[in-house]
Amino acid sequence: MDVGAVAEDVTLNRSSMNKHEQAEIKEAIKKEICQILEDIVGLKENSRPIPPDNAIGRLTRMEAINEKSIVEANLRKTKLRLERLNAALDRVDTESFGECVICEGPIPMNRLRVLPESTVCVDCLNNSDD
Ligand SMILES: [Zn+2]
């Protein structure tokens, strides 16, 4: 860890993210949102009402019900991620974007590229029980 670089960030009073990186993350969020909207359409297709036994074929009705509850859980999770990504898109142009909400340290770019909706750094994430 380069102590000099950290001190410089503190004097600038903002995270180490520059305009270019901010734009990159913004694009990543938009792409992710498009992908999720497609996923939701697909999941909804799979969570249609379960047909009566004689229409199911090899799959038993019980299996179909299990399958449906898995799809519905996925759908809920996916919708939650969509909400978080939309919130991230609202925040991406603000000074505090890319800052950990717990320790206020910068969230590494590599993490934001993968999970742009992150609001905590890896250290704080590991320290929480969630
Ligand atoms: Zn933190």
| Chain segment 54-81, per-residue pLDDT in tens | 666 667 888 888 989 999 999 999 999 9
Distance in Å, CA 124 to ligand 1 centroid: 4
The whole-angstrom separation of Cα 36 and Cα 51 is 27
pLDDT, tens digit, 9 for 90 and up, residues 6-23: 444 444 444 467 889 999
Number of Cβ atoms within 10 Å of the Cβ of 35? 12
Distance in Å, CA 37 to ligand 1 centroid: 30
Residue from 84, 92, 87, 78 nearest 37 by CA: 78
Quick one: pLDDT at residue 106?
93
Distance in Å, CA 121 to ligand 1 centroid: 4
pLDDT-derived band at 49, boundaries 50, 70, 90: confident
List, in order of start, the domains of the chain with CATH numbers.
16-127 (1.20.120.910)
pLDDT-derived band at 92, boundaries 50, 70, 90: very high
- 27-31, 48-52, 86-90, 102-106, range with the lowest pLDDT: 48-52
Distance in Å, CA 25 to ligand 1 centroid: 19
Residue from 25, 36, 9, 13 nearest 91 by CA: 25
Distance in Å, CA 125 to ligand 1 centroid: 7
pTM: 0.74
Provide the residue type at 57 as one letter: G
